[in-house]
Structure 1
């Protein structure tokens, strides 16, 4: 009974990825996108199979062995890409050699806390092979610097103003409609707040940019406050009308940036002081 108790798989480990390389690359992208501080990244090598142990503040992740080396193919290419991604984020990667038994436990999600401790205290491979894995495929460490395809394509919900969170949640279904409705909703909010029947860019010109604007963007610097106020009509004129009159055909990431611009208007509006 005691033997079974102390040999239960750890409940502190989060397993990500599958035996497929792309799934493991996507998992690393999620970690890099969501974890503020990566404390340690270990490449776990067993013969020509590779997995990862990644520790962030309060979390331990295991990426299963969807990576490989020593031949040409998706496994080695994925390994090189994963290393470049981590280096792109200024994360130092060390490599350790592990047993076939440990690699099997990784892939079956059955590591013990003691197994993690063993890996964290195992002597790292020196000299390092990290760059050799990269150069074998890409001949450079710069390939991923301008490549963002492994990050999750999702809006950062924790940054979205609560008044348009519902539009953010439906964004992928119809980004054009979400953007257009966000503009319309902001118009209504500002109209009601200053009791005005103006609309479109004229409303924002009056509300934030007139001689004595009803809404003053928070700033002790008058020029900075005026410049911030001009953001409202400028963004409205730059992006709103095309969504009102046409089905805009743009990459999803471009539309996300537009939605985030509108989200910033909501935040600035909420912080604006109403002239008494």
Structure 2
């Protein structure tokens, strides 16, 4: 009875990935994007099959055995890519050898807490094979440095201003609509803020946030430095007009990643607007 109790599947482990290599690479990208601090990364090897145990400050992740080595394949390319991704984030990776029984439990999501403890205490492989797995495919450790295709391309909802969260939630369906609506909504917010419905675009934003020799802006930012506040006002105005006017005067055909960046820039304007103070 005690044996069965201590070998029950752990409820603390999060299993990610599938037997398919791409799913496992995407899972590592998600961990690297969302976890603040990775405490340990273990490559779990059984013959020529490989999985991962990754511990963050809060969670224990198991990436299933979608990786291979020893012969050219998508699995071996994926293994090299995964190691490069972790090294790119300055995460040291150790390798341990595990039994076929443990690898089967990994793929069936049935590891116990005791299994995890055993793996964490297992002696690591020395000398390391990590770089051999990489050089076997890419001949360099630098391939993933400029490669961002394994990271999730999702908006960070926790950073989005509440006034455009509804547009962020619909962003994947129609990025252009979300962006154009956000520009219109921001313009309406600033009009109401300064109580002037006659000004538009560049003139509106300058009146609200930019001072010159003839007049002070209606709003400013408390930076203990008027020049810094005015620079923020110019930045606000220039970003809005540069990106919005491009869309106003022609049909814009941008990649999804560029539209994502534009929406995040626009989100920053919303946050700046909210922080501005009336003189």
Question: Does residue 1:10 correspond to 2:14, yes or no?
Answer: no
Question: Does residue 1:165 correspond to 2:165, yes or no?
Answer: yes
Q: Which residue of 1 aligns with 2:208?
A: 207
Q: Which ranges of structure 1 fall in alignment gaps of 5 or more residues?
A: none
Q: Which residue of 2 aligns with 1:119?
A: 119
Q: Which residue of 1 aligns with 2:97?
A: 97
Deviation string, structure 1 residues 247-273 (Cα, Å, up to 9, x no partner)? 311111111111111100011111111
Question: Does residue 1:49 correspond to 2:49, yes or no?
Answer: yes
Query: 2:52·2:63 contact (CA, 8 Å) conserved in 1?
Result: yes
Deviation string, structure 1 residues 52-84 (Cα, Å, up to 9, x no partner)? 000001100000000000000100000000000
Moved more, 23-32 or 181-190: 181-190
Q: Which ranges of structure 2 fall in alignment gaps of 5 or more residues?
A: none
CA distance in 2, matches of 1:213, 1:203: 11
User: Secondary structure, in 3 states, of the residue corresponding to 1:145?
Assistant: helix
CA distance in 2, matches of 1:207, 1:8: 63
Query: 1:179·1:243 contact (CA, 8 Å) conserved in 2?
Result: no
Q: What TM-score does the superposition give when structure 1 sets the normalisation length? A: 0.97
Aligned to 1:270, which of 264, 274, 277? Answer: 274
Query: 1:176·1:247 contact (CA, 8 Å) conserved in 2?
Result: no
User: Secondary structure, in 3 states, of the residue corresponding to 1:51?
Assistant: strand
Q: What TM-score does the superposition give when structure 2 sets the normalisation length? A: 0.96
Query: 1:45·1:51 contact (CA, 8 Å) conserved in 2?
Result: yes
Q: Which residue of 2 aligns with 1:152?
A: 152
Q: Which residue of 2 aligns with 1:137?
A: 137
CA distance in 1, matches of 2:109, 2:251: 46
